Structure 1
């Protein structure tokens, strides 16, 4: 049944898949740039910084992503600026991802044993050095599984960009379905493409997690010697 699709139709779906990948990368990168400072403020920021970061996390997590995309897309338009759907979707994804990643990474930082914090303080390291050389490397190993799980969900959440007319994978599949009237074929093919995009991310995270734990064991053994 897939053979009934023309090369042009398959190419159109492929361009939608490429847009999904680009949007996922933009959302993940923006979310990481927002999430790390948010996590640090939640853990050890001043009173105002903690209140601000908590408010941001609660508000961003409490607003459904499609609504956030509407707010960004039409809100910027009210200011007199024309914004492309891809820009609005990227901003909304980054703000949403930043809140979740900040919360995930906060938990990972706090999961580092308290003895490690005390040991770094005993070495007379300043705050930045303690975080950079002692706490964050250990928190990274803890944060890999939940972070990658969220990133896989983020890839699938790019489908919400259809609400503001961005031609990503789901939008492309819907347009093709309107012309071919073969919903099972089109959306099954789209589901397969989503799997092809998400599966390597999950596999890479497993390899990264094994490598990080291996490095951690080597470091522990060297420190004992």
Structure 2
């Protein structure tokens, strides 16, 4: 058994936390970009595009994130593509995030009165103009709170990347536990770090919900 001071344990966990944050940001930004495209396709009124988006969302919402990580990491390897654990985790989490953000944003847009779409058409505005100038400015206020709230799920979801060998906070905790045999101390530190990452976002989501209360 290797002897580590408490500072050694915390320092190593904080170093691994950088990768948790990097993976979370990559997945959230990538998922937001893909989600915007999918939301626009869903609202386009074209049935084939709507069915495509609906199928995409159902697949990634209806299957466990762990299975998605396995399929990306091992599936691409079987196809002869050499993919790193980082890339596989980033792709899987981006797909997962985009599916949920698409539904969150579609739901927020659906809360707006339908008459605004009809009034925009009467004014001769195109779909892009209606979406950009009329709908999105209002929907953003409604969507901010749930979007920030979902970022907490993205951060917690990065823990599953340890299964495919990506060394982030959870994987680092497991490795330190194997070296020190002090699971309670190490995983208590891991839990506190996750809490420190997630709690401010949860608090921000609650405050945004009160500030931009859609019903009010």
Give the TM-score of the pair, scaled to structure 2. 0.90
Partner of 1:112: 112
Greater fraction of residues in helix: 1
Aligned residue for 2:72?
72
Q: How far apart are residue 132 of structure 1 and its match?
A: 0.7
Write the distance in 1 (CA, Å) between the matches of 2:193 and 2:68.
26
Distance in 1 separating the partners of 2:5 and 2:63: 38
2:119 & 2:203 partners in 1: Cα distance? 34
Shift of 1:121: 2.8
> 115-124 vs 33-42, which deviates more?
115-124
Instruction: Verify the 8 A CA contact 2:57 2:100 in the aligned structure 1.
Output: yes
Residues 1:88 and 2:88 aligned together: yes
Distance 1:192 1:45 in 2: 46
5+ residue gaps, structure 1, are 218-225
- Residue 65 of structure 1 and its aligned partner are, at CA, apart by 0.5
1:195 aligns with 2:195: yes
CA distance in 1, matches of 2:69, 2:16: 18
Residues of 2 paired with 1:111 and 1:147: CA distance?
15
Matched, 1:31 2:19: no
Are the counterparts in 2 of residues 43 and 110 from structure 1 also a CA contact under 8 Å? no
Structure 2: 5+ residue stretches without partners: none
2:141 maps to which residue?
Answer: 141
Tell me, in whole angstroms, the C-alpha distance in 2 between the residues paired with 1:45 and 1:96: 24
Partner of 1:131: 131
More displaced 10-residue stretch of structure 1: 118-127 or 105-114: 118-127
Number of residue equivalences: 212
The superposition leaves residues 52-74 of structure 1 with CA deviations (integer Å, 9 ceiling, x where unpaired) of 11111111112211111111111
Q: Note the alpha carbon deviations across 1:74-109, whole angstroms, 9 max, x for none.
A: 122123232111110010000011111111111111
Distance 1:5 1:67 in 2: 37
Could you tell me which residue of structure 1 aligns to residue 60 of structure 2? 60
1:40 and 1:106 in contact (8 A); partners too: no
Root mean square deviation, CA, Å: 2.0
